[in-house]
Structure 1
Amino acid sequence: MSPMRACAMRFQAANFGVTLLFVGCIVATMQLIGRKPIRLTDASDSLNNRVEKSVAVTERCCDEADPTKVLPQAPRNENNLKDTNAEILRLVQIIFKEHLGTVKIFENGSDRGITAQKRTNRDVPQVDSPKTNCSLKLKSPTKRLGIDIVGTGSYKDDANSSKDLVEVMRAFKGTWRENKDLSSQIKHELTECCDVESSVLTKQNVKVGDVLPNVLNRKMPLKISRDVYRVLPKESPFRNKHFQTCAVVGNSGILRGSRCGASIDGAEAVFRCNLPPLGKQIYRKDAGVKSTFTTAPLSMLKSYMQMKDKSVREKFIKDVEPYRGILSLKKPNNYTNYMISSVESTMGNSLEAVYEHPNHFLCIDNYWSNHGLPRKITSGIYIISMALTVCDEVNVYGFWPFPRDDKGHKVHYHYYKAPVFVMDTHDMPSEFLLIRQMHQDGVIKVHMHCLHNIAKRSAGKKKARLHL
């Protein structure tokens, strides 16, 4: 082969190298306007080295008349040149393919940030996780799931509402199937961040003089005084506790006529909130009477503020006598110390009054905040979360935040007669949609009515009698 022909072939190879450099300039320009740098593979790096050597050979060839001074690394035949050209073309295709793939990822990805490393079209973009150590995969409860929610927490009660509520209620009428993997994942996450044993103030987790956050008023922290410390238990009443079946009971008027009392009382443990009237037999068929854990907010205890009076103490003990297990008071106070002492001295074998640990509540509140709830959680979500950490199976009753049901019938705020305390600190519709989503995902089982369960049991008993 003549020296001039060899020089021309090397110049052709250099053109491919220049093309490659031009593509690199385009990629670099795109990177300057926000694209993440793309790293070439080791093979391409070695190819760049060979292209640079080829360019150096071409310059020497063209500048010098003596062909004997051509460097030995230059390609010596057409086969080598074809291989080099093919490798350059392959590299150019990889660059364009990867760059276009990166652009596609940014266009289709979340605004929260995507790791745009080298991908193929089959790769799934990795969205930044929430600022928590949890990896819950539930859908956002604030999305519209067949219900018309106006603003945060209000319900639009118009002619179309009943149609929307039919769709919401339909989720609870189909066959429910447990998702053991997701259920175990959520239970593990809640246990890791919010262990139920730490839900109670004890002599082990606080000391005199400690200052704790006030869940009700962040501007007025709580200080553990000697009087408060004196009534604290030595250890958590949840220590080494675990239950197979649990019922979590809300206080919505949807419980009226549900006939869920027997199903609730059949659970191994029953979680309740806000001191419902367990002593009244009129509610027994719908709400049951069994209790294992019950929250007691200060708003429900204000009528007992004069606990120093014997008559007030006796009334308080009479009113809480139907409760069993644990009675959790929201925050320490002068009269609540008397309540704990009175319960211990008169009902120590059946009921234990304790203080809720604010850090535990805030931990669970933060957990759900990281998963879509826009406002501070209610006691309902709190006890559901607690039950998930100590129960194998969680059944939920009495949750419905809307003033009408799916048939358009009015639903009272409570299933019993009581003052209605409505504060603008919660988003109850969004919480309910979260409960609905967990039901659909097989994490908890929500019961709106239990008449079908009674019918099934009656049919079973009738069938058994016929066989006899």
Structure 2
Amino acid sequence: MLLRCHRNKLSVWAVLCILVLLCWLYIFPVYRLPSDKEIVDEVLRQGHVWQKNRTGIDVFRKLLTDCCDPKRMFAVTKQNSPMGKILWYDGEFYHSHTVNNETYSLFVQDTPLQLPLKRCAVVGNGGVLKQSGCGKDIDQADFVMRCNLPPLTKEYTEDVGSRTHLVTANPSIIEKRFQNLLWSRKPFVESMKAYGSSYVYMPAFSMKPGTDPSLRAYYTLSDTSSNLTMLFANPEFLRTVGKFWKGHGIHAKRLSTGLFLVSLALGLCDEVTAYGFWPFSLSLDEQPVSHHYYDNVLPFSGFHAMPEEFIQLWQLHKSGTLRVRVGSCLAKGG
């Protein structure tokens, strides 16, 4: 008798659990990312035709302004981060930095960019850029943004261009490629000459381990009278941009540097074209694509959600808000 009663209770609980699960799936349906082949077919259906939507651009810029205020907040400045202000790390919520005499002196006075920017090119590092012939198009933009200190040597310029106005530098690159600038600074200084007199954009206050390498990079450029200007990403801006895209369906521990830059460009520029954003294994002609145009080193699994990011960018492309170039720039109308 007791056993039968216990079984009846279990059955009731099992039914309730199933009903709750079905309700949950109805309200929050399971999202399945399209396969690489499905993405290729979708892009090919769209073709090379793209038409700018001025209204769409203005509406999206207003959305970014309302949530994230990129014009004022994209970099840490003396205006938005005075002495004594607490900068909460956006990647580690339990860490913060209180602006003191040392760090305050490193900040630019105010946003140094001459706004509004006109035609901007945001250049990712995707292998889809190889043999794209996009270098000339990229260099014709009024303002060129690049991700994570990519190589711009002669073998690549035909596809990726040579001009740079802003380039990001992840602190992990300083650690791995330049041994945290603890032994020799010359390789770093020499490699940075490829970016001319651009702005170097570093997330010094995103995660605690990244602060010291970022400050060392600042002092290295300052001590060698470099033409480059260091800008520190404002963690408040990075946090609000992350929340913005999470609300648009991107599920990731952290946005990619590329999406942060596209977001910045959409907030600052009259027209934005993105190059090298293609996180898939197949090209449009269904040939294998390397992860980067200069190597095939894959990112840490589960850290970014680049396919989800591309789908969001492609929706903006289809609406005329953002142009995404994924094929050859030499193709007619491409």
TM range (shorter): 0.7 to 0.9
TM-score, normalization by structure 2: 0.81
- What letter matches 1:286 in structure 2? D
> Once the two structures are superposed, what CA deviation does each residue of 1:93-116 show, in whole Å capped at 9, x if it has no partner?
xxxxxxxxxxxxxxxxx969xxxx
1:299 pairs with one of 172, 176, 186: 172
Answering whether residue 85 of structure 2 is matched by residue 210 of structure 1, we say yes
Alignment identity in percent? 27
Looking at structure 1, the residues matched to 296 and 202 of structure 2 have their Cα atoms a distance apart, in angstroms, of 19
Answering whether residue 216 of structure 2 is matched by residue 365 of structure 1, we say no
- Cα deviation for residue 437 of structure 1 reads 0.8
- Cα deviation for residue 417 of structure 1 reads 2.6
8 A Cα contact 2:166 2:199, kept in partner: yes
Looking at structure 1, the residues matched to 173 and 52 of structure 2 have their Cα atoms a distance apart, in angstroms, of 36
Answering whether residue 134 of structure 2 is matched by residue 250 of structure 1, we say no
Answering whether residue 194 of structure 2 is matched by residue 318 of structure 1, we say no
State the match for 2:281 in structure 1. 403
State the match for 2:7 in structure 1. none
Map 1:17-28 onto structure 2 (within 5 A).
none
8 A Cα contact 2:203 2:233, kept in partner: yes
Instruction: Give SS of 2:181's match.
Output: coil
8 A Cα contact 2:133 2:330, kept in partner: no
> Once the two structures are superposed, what CA deviation does each residue of 1:152-206 show, in whole Å capped at 9, x if it has no partner?
xxxxxxxxx53x2431321552411122212210012212332233111122222
- What letter matches 2:240 in structure 1? C
TM-aligned CA distance change 1:224 to 1:423, over 3 Å: farther
Map 1:221-370 onto structure 2 (within 5 A).
221-238=96-113, 240-278=114-152, 280-302=153-175, 303-307=177-181, 309=183, 312-323=184-195, 324-332=197-205, 333-347=211-225, 350-370=227-247
Looking at structure 1, the residues matched to 39 and 234 of structure 2 have their Cα atoms a distance apart, in angstroms, of 37
Looking at structure 1, the residues matched to 296 and 162 of structure 2 have their Cα atoms a distance apart, in angstroms, of 18
State the match for 1:64 in structure 2. none
8 A Cα contact 1:172 1:447, kept in partner: no
Looking at structure 2, the residues matched to 226 and 308 of structure 1 have their Cα atoms a distance apart, in angstroms, of 23
Answering whether residue 79 of structure 2 is matched by residue 196 of structure 1, we say no
Looking at structure 1, the residues matched to 143 and 333 of structure 2 have their Cα atoms a distance apart, in angstroms, of 23
Looking at structure 2, the residues matched to 294 and 260 of structure 1 have their Cα atoms a distance apart, in angstroms, of 18
RMSD (Å), alpha carbons: 2.6
Looking at structure 1, the residues matched to 299 and 214 of structure 2 have their Cα atoms a distance apart, in angstroms, of 20
- What letter matches 1:173 in structure 2? G
> Once the two structures are superposed, what CA deviation does each residue of 1:292-324 show, in whole Å capped at 9, x if it has no partner?
111111111114355365xx2222111111113
TM-aligned CA distance change 1:456 to 1:408, over 3 Å: closer
State the match for 2:11 in structure 1. none
Looking at structure 2, the residues matched to 201 and 316 of structure 1 have their Cα atoms a distance apart, in angstroms, of 23
Looking at structure 2, the residues matched to 353 and 334 of structure 1 have their Cα atoms a distance apart, in angstroms, of 14
Map 1:121-136 onto structure 2 (within 5 A).
none
Looking at structure 2, the residues matched to 364 and 245 of structure 1 have their Cα atoms a distance apart, in angstroms, of 22
Instruction: Give SS of 2:111's match.
Output: coil
Looking at structure 2, the residues matched to 170 and 367 of structure 1 have their Cα atoms a distance apart, in angstroms, of 29
8 A Cα contact 1:254 1:398, kept in partner: yes
TM-score, normalization by structure 1: 0.59
- Cα deviation for residue 421 of structure 1 reads 3.2
1:380 pairs with one of 237, 240, 258: 258
> Once the two structures are superposed, what CA deviation does each residue of 1:100-154 show, in whole Å capped at 9, x if it has no partner?
xxxxxxxxxx969xxxxxxxxxxxxxxxxxxxxxxxxxxx9x9668x22xxxxxx
- Cα deviation for residue 441 of structure 1 reads 0.8
Instruction: Give SS of 1:322's match.
Output: helix
TM-aligned CA distance change 1:233 to 1:166, over 3 Å: closer
- Cα deviation for residue 418 of structure 1 reads 6.7
1:447 pairs with one of 307, 325, 334: 325
Looking at structure 2, the residues matched to 172 and 422 of structure 1 have their Cα atoms a distance apart, in angstroms, of 31
* Number of residue pairs matched by the alignment: 300
Instruction: Give SS of 1:452's match.
Output: coil
TM-aligned CA distance change 1:431 to 1:451, over 3 Å: closer
Looking at structure 1, the residues matched to 147 and 202 of structure 2 have their Cα atoms a distance apart, in angstroms, of 11
Looking at structure 2, the residues matched to 397 and 294 of structure 1 have their Cα atoms a distance apart, in angstroms, of 14
Looking at structure 1, the residues matched to 86 and 94 of structure 2 have their Cα atoms a distance apart, in angstroms, of 12
> Once the two structures are superposed, what CA deviation does each residue of 1:314-335 show, in whole Å capped at 9, x if it has no partner?
2211111111321011115234
TM-aligned CA distance change 1:347 to 1:187, over 3 Å: farther
